[in-house]
Structure 1
Amino acid sequence: MAALALACGLALPSAATPASSPAPVETLVEQAMAHYRLPGIAVGVIEDGRIVQVVTRGEQAAGLGPPVDADTLFKIASNTKAMTGAVLARLVQAGTLRWEDPVTKHLPGFRMYDPWVTANLQVRDLLIHNSGLGLGAGDLMLWPEPNRFSRQDILAGLAHLKPVGSFRADYAYDNLLYVVAGEVAAAAAGKPYATLVREEIFQPLGLTRCQVGQWSAAAVGNIARPHYRQGARNIAVDADPDTVADFPSAAAGGVRCSINDMLRWMQVLLDPAQAPGWLDAAQRRALWTAHMPMPVGQRLRDWDNTHFHAYGYGWRLSDMDGQWKVAHTGTLSGMYSSLALLPDRRTGVVILINGEGEAARTALMQALLKRYTAPQEAGDVLHYAGLLEREAAQRRSAGQVRPVLAPPVVVTPAQVGADAGVWSDPWFGRVTLCPGEGGMLWVSDKSPAMRARLVQSGGRRWLQWLALGEDAEAWLEFSGAGTQRRMQLRAIDPDIDFSYDFQDLEFRRLGDCP
């Protein structure tokens, strides 16, 4: 790939040379803030079990304040998965359920597409991404938020999602089965998932600011707002209502915590003496056992000299410069999180960002961890940012980017003809493709943010979303005839977020426009 990039004459950004001694934490955080123009950030560092650094910068809402501090709540997104795993571990420890229980023991109506998988899927399988479903299958029932899908819709939808691989054969990250895991915990314990998280984690561990389920934003306060980028500006998404509603995907990514809470959570994970009896040795070991092998990507090989990569119960496990690493990331609605532990050193780092911070969290986490795993090689944030930018340039040279489209032209009702009407997908539900706003509108019944204008350029028709970014836009395609007529969506950008699982949709026409 690098040779191809150079052969094409690309001007690749130069990466700064690693420093002879690691930069101070504050310097690294400030580099990340400046280079990536973040609205706000909170970073915490633990060494040998002790909190040694808490650094906060920026604002809860860009341009509006107040400042981010150590008690500001952030969405931790998929770092919630480790808490869901811990709730189940607590129930296993109490004898309420077993990891080997069939899911149908606790949820008799549970169904997967394949009846054999339905019968054999165990509680443990819900946590390790081995179901045979494709990457992010069914995520359009979870995001974009808010939407009108319920947990029962999600459970019912799983029966219609076709596998793309064999059960327990391959790793493919999913979110829906974590929702199922939350429902298994609730059924086994006789309490809602949110109540279990509070009783099994927040209260016994002293995570005093963390929130899940329904809670009062007005009473809690000090809440970071998510942001999206518009050119060089960070635009704050609407603030929470006074009462935040419980939402179906909570077990996959619904917890909010402060940096102080996350540091306390990490201390307990690194040192059992911090919370005697909370989780016994067998269940701690279960959480961090390599249950499902994962591919070792080229970046892990190049940056960390990684030899193994696997998924535990809500955690990614690997080796970094010969040291054991336990980690996860989280991405949700304009917020990014990253948590990494080096258990043998009782050391860890956590990063919370309230903006578009994927590259920022990657570069900053790498710079912070290298201080412990290979200090003689540790670069600063700008060094790792340069490497990421070089990767992006190589993807562009290989054509792995959204194609440049001609200016779009609105498609008229006459051009759509008989394909206008009401369509339905077995798990996503009803959509309409009907006249509106001077053209044709594609509108989802249950996902209000998925509302698009039908346009065309270069002879192809595509959906120009009215509330989503252009990176989520999709080709609209029709095939078949008569009762076999189908409508499908295909991502335009090959690097689209996998949660836009358009490939899993297959709409059939129900009738004419209302």
Structure 2
Amino acid sequence: MYRIQKIVWATFALLLLLTACEQPPLLFARSTPKIPVNPHLEAFVDEYVDFFESELHRTQLPGAALAIVLDSNIVFLKGFGVKSIHSRDSVDAHTVFRIGSLSKGFAGVLTGLLVQDSLLSLTDPVEPYLPYFQLRSPDQTRRVQVRHLLSHSTGLPYHTYTNLVEAGQDLPTIAGRFKEVKLVGKEGEVFSYQNAAFSLIEEIIREKTGKSYARALEDFLFNPAGMNDASASYEEMVREPNKAFPHDGQDSAWMRAEVSTKFYNAVAAGGVNASISDMSQWLLLLLGNRPDLIHPSTLDTVFAPRIKTNNERRFFSDWLGDKEAFYGLGWRILQTPTDTIIYHGGYVNNYKGEVALNRKEKIGVCVLMNGAGSLAGTLIPGFFERYETYADSIRAWKPKK
């Protein structure tokens, strides 16, 4: 059976209180035989990890990593496979991957923190911060606000100038060309996924904090959240000795590739590097376990549905069912009358990642992979489908006194 890792808040409560201002709190510790283990939770984790491993075997994916968080507990954290098909080096909890568009969630939360600290407002117009931001309509240019950048609702067409992001152009140069593009709708009314426009939040954060976007991530999120392996530059990824290499191909036919510079010029859209250990700390924060860092009301703001994305249902058709699809601030929101899943997927440079959480159930999962293949679209739905069958038993269980 897979060992359940537990947070032992009671044991360390006094220590955390005394050191909270000096260092990030200890968020989890390995369980000991003295700590009762919920057998229903253990059965769920075992069943899902069996499924996860069978999918890895089916696709012969070179390497992956998995984190599962419930309440304030990291219940599973492990690497699978190898960092490169050219070596036997195993993926571990601190192996760093590129996380692609999972980076957008960091942009949303970082912006939320600045709003929380009254440094920024979501309704601030973009143009005064970025005079080079020019849409075809001068009136719409003046009306576009910070919230429109982060919810892909500026009115620009789908993936406007993502090709220029991939070509390595800087954001001000790209934004200066938005005026050449015919708009698809009024701001706030049409969802149209972006990378270049979304990443302009970097320039606004630089303006408001006096820090580069990468430094702001480090100072406001990575360091205080205990994400000790995370970074946001090509140079740091290349220097990282414990990194997973990307692999091109489909299922069993994999070829190792190299880390590319793509999207490090648009970090907010796809330039964060992180280990699964980092992502477990990220999930703890997103589930509300770090009120010292981010207020619950700020998370509510970040995860609030802002615009329908039903024009993208083709990407989630097997999973959505009767769910309504929305976008918040850097996050996808999938809703039913009784449940809400917060989700984002990411793909860049042949790395694939997915992160999802149910705030009501206080459960979250993250998967990082060093190849894409056919696993995308099966692992997260499979997680929540299995959890649903165990949820009542997990919640009803009480340790014997």
Q: Same fold (TM over 0.5)?
A: yes
Q: Cα distance 1:103–1:264, how it changes in 2: closer, same or farther (>3 A)?
A: same
CA distance in 1, matches of 2:287, 2:73: 10
Q: Cα distance 1:374–1:24, how it changes in 2: closer, same or farther (>3 A)?
A: closer
* 1:318 to 2:334 alignment: yes
* 1:370 to 2:385 alignment: yes
Q: Deviation of residue 135 (structure 1)? A: 1.6
- Identify the match of residue 224 of structure 2 among 204, 223, 243: 204
Residue aligned with 1:106, SS: coil
Give, as a single letter, the amino acid of the residue that structure 1 aligns with 2:313.
G
- Determine if contact 2:96/2:242 at 8 Å carries over to the other structure: yes
Q: Cα distance 1:307–1:219, how it changes in 2: closer, same or farther (>3 A)?
A: closer
Q: Any idea what the Cα deviations from partners look like across 1:380-427, whole Å, max 9, x if unmatched? A: xxxxxxxxxxxxxxxxxxxxxxxxxxxxxxxxxxxxxxxxxxxxxxxx
Q: Any idea what the Cα deviations from partners look like across 1:270-290, whole Å, max 9, x if unmatched? A: 02xx32331223322110101
Counterpart in 2 of 1:33? 56
Residue aligned with 1:61, SS: coil
Higher CA-based Rg: 1
* 1:269 to 2:286 alignment: yes
Q: Deviation of residue 44 (structure 1)? A: 1.0
Q: Deviation of residue 78 (structure 1)? A: 0.6
Residue aligned with 2:64, SS: strand
Q: Deviation of residue 42 (structure 1)? A: 0.5
Q: Cα distance 1:258–1:107, how it changes in 2: closer, same or farther (>3 A)?
A: same
Residue aligned with 2:367, SS: strand
- Identify the match of residue 212 of structure 2 among 166, 174, 192: 192
Counterpart in 2 of 1:260? 277
CA distance in 1, matches of 2:201, 2:385: 34
Residue aligned with 2:176, SS: helix
- Determine if contact 1:321/1:374 at 8 Å carries over to the other structure: no
Q: Cα distance 1:277–1:231, how it changes in 2: closer, same or farther (>3 A)?
A: closer
Residue aligned with 1:96, SS: coil
Between Structure 1 and Structure 2, the one with more strand by share is 1
Counterpart in 1 of 2:141? 118
Give, as a single letter, the amino acid of the residue that structure 2 aligns with 1:94.
D
CA distance in 2, matches of 1:35, 1:160: 46
Q: Deviation of residue 323 (structure 1)? A: 2.0
Q: Deviation of residue 195 (structure 1)? A: 0.8
Q: Cα distance 1:279–1:231, how it changes in 2: closer, same or farther (>3 A)?
A: closer
Q: Cα distance 1:47–1:320, how it changes in 2: closer, same or farther (>3 A)?
A: farther
CA distance in 1, matches of 2:387, 2:228: 30
Q: Any idea what the Cα deviations from partners look like across 1:235-274, whole Å, max 9, x if unmatched? A: 111257xxx8993111111001000100101001102xx3
Give, as a single letter, the amino acid of the residue that structure 1 aligns with 2:218.
R
- Identify the match of residue 43 of structure 1 among 38, 61, 66: 66
Give % identity.
26
- Identify the match of residue 98 of structure 2 among 75, 83, 86: 75
Counterpart in 1 of 2:35? none
CA distance in 2, matches of 1:321, 1:290: 14
Residue aligned with 1:339, SS: strand
- Runs of 4+ off more than 6 Å: none
Counterpart in 2 of 1:165? 185
Q: TM-score, normalised by structure 1?
A: 0.63
- Identify the match of residue 285 of structure 1 among 279, 284, 300: 300
Q: Deviation of residue 180 (structure 1)? A: 0.7
CA distance in 2, matches of 1:374, 1:293: 29
Higher mean C-alpha displacement, 344-353 vs 153-162: 153-162
Residue aligned with 2:376, SS: helix
CA distance in 1, matches of 2:162, 2:153: 16
Between Structure 1 and Structure 2, the one with more helix by share is 2
Give, as a single letter, the amino acid of the residue that structure 2 aligns with 1:268.
L
Q: Cα distance 1:299–1:89, how it changes in 2: closer, same or farther (>3 A)?
A: closer
- Determine if contact 1:134/1:164 at 8 Å carries over to the other structure: yes
Q: Deviation of residue 300 (structure 1)? A: 5.4
Q: Any idea what the Cα deviations from partners look like across 1:191-217, whole Å, max 9, x if unmatched? A: 111111111100111110001136444
Q: Deviation of residue 231 (structure 1)? A: 8.4
- Determine if contact 2:238/2:259 at 8 Å carries over to the other structure: no
- Identify the match of residue 156 of structure 2 among 114, 133, 147: 133
- Determine if contact 1:306/1:321 at 8 Å carries over to the other structure: no
* 1:236 to 2:256 alignment: yes
CA distance in 1, matches of 2:90, 2:156: 42
* 1:62 to 2:85 alignment: yes
Counterpart in 1 of 2:34? none
CA distance in 1, matches of 2:296, 2:69: 22
Q: Deviation of residue 113 (structure 1)? A: 2.1
Q: Any idea what the Cα deviations from partners look like across 1:14-50, whole Å, max 9, x if unmatched? A: xxxxxxx966233112111122221111111112331
- Determine if contact 2:48/2:386 at 8 Å carries over to the other structure: no
Pairs within 5 Å for 1:72-111: 72-111=95-134
Give, as a single letter, the amino acid of the residue that structure 1 aligns with 2:202.
G
CA distance in 2, matches of 1:336, 1:192: 26
- Determine if contact 1:59/1:68 at 8 Å carries over to the other structure: yes
- Determine if contact 2:135/2:178 at 8 Å carries over to the other structure: yes
Q: Which runs of 5+ in 2 are unaligned?
A: 1-42, 392-401
Counterpart in 2 of 1:251? 268
